[in-house]
Amino acid sequence: MSKLLTTEQMAEFANSGCLFFDELIDEQTNKEFLDDIGHTEIKNVDSVQKYYQNIKATSSIPRIPAGIPLKDAYPANSPLEKIFNNEVVDGAIRSLVGSSTVIDHQFLHITFPTKYFKEANQRQMSQQNHQDSTIDPRSTFDIQLFYFPTEVTKEMGGTRYHPSTHLRIVNEFGIAKYQNIKGQKSVVCQPGTIGIFHNGLWHGAGVNTSSDNIRYMFKVRLQPTEKQELLWDPEKKYKPLPNRALYWTDESKDKTINDILMKSYPWQEADTNRLDKINVVKFWRLLTGHKKLDVDYWLTRIENELY
């Protein structure tokens, strides 16, 4: 049975634009996936080009057209079907994009260690920071599921990402010149970790400076085919919290949904951060279906139009 996301997890996604599930996929499935893609031990790899040729020739990842339903995309009992049938993965997908989601695209990212670039006399570079696809002004959102079948150490250049940038719409590589943004994070994880990103989250691959480890990341972008409203709460029990006192604190230490929604991040400065908070509240309205919901009076204040 699917494990739908909690309201707390949904609030975290609304604000940060991402969720992680550490070591979620079991060791056997990770091994099957690596076997399926034609993983070769590093000692047997002659060059980046030859390795890619081998992957293309031997990988059993199916070639699937854009728009195919996720449920029809992968062969029965294949590692990828097992991953998407995992109760946590399935529950997160249903909570964010519904039960009839379709695939936009998939891609197997492979990042090679430094020595192969030195041997080929090529420059090794990180991937530019970017926001996937193109300028996307929709209220509807897609998600990107990232699967890491092996351990990712700091030296292996795990995916670099910037929490809470997902509601700042840019033109794909329009942010490419910014390579070190305050508060950026990089994926460091154990095998079988799953990450789920809002399609707007700024991110990019790092440089693999390890001596002998190939880094894999399999990505699938998923689109909804239904309204993304209270999908995690089918009984529609969620009720917004009342407004709290502003610029004054009480002695309560209990963390509420509103605290999660209003968390700030290092790259956000004091004034323009207010616009980010307004966008988070708008996004939370979309997710909950409560069109007059507010947090800390951000929207009520500017919607008080009497003329």
Task: Give yes or no for a contact between 3 and 86, defined as CB atoms under 8 angstroms apart.
Answer: no
Q: Which of residues 268 and 115 earns the better pLDDT score?
A: 268
Tell me the per-residue pLDDT of 8-56, one tens digit each, with 9 for 90 and over: 999 999 999 999 999 999 999 999 999 999 888 777 777 788 888 888 7
Handedness of CA 215, 92, 199, 57 (dihedral sign): positive
In the chain, the DSSP E strands lie at 18-21, 102-111, 143-148, 160-161, 185-186, 193-198, 203-204, 215-223
Domain 7-223 has CATH 2.60.120.620: yes
**Is the alpha carbon torsion for 144, 281, 242, 287 positive or negative?**
negative
| Higher pLDDT, residue 228 or 119 | 228
Give pLDDT, residue 185. 96
Interval 229-257: pLDDT, tens:
999 999 999 999 988 877 766 666 678 99
3-state secondary structure at position 106: strand
What are the CB-based long-range contacts (under 8 Å, 24+) for 57-60?
59/108, 60/36
Tokens (6 digits) for 108: 């197997």
What does the pLDDT read at residue 150?
Answer: 97
Torsion angles phi and psi, residue 257, rounded to 5: -55, -40
Looking at residue 248, what is its pLDDT?
67
Domain boundary assignment for the chain: 7-223
Three-state DSSP state, 210: coil
pLDDT attached to residue 251: 63
| Residue 218 in this model has a pLDDT that exceeds 90 | yes
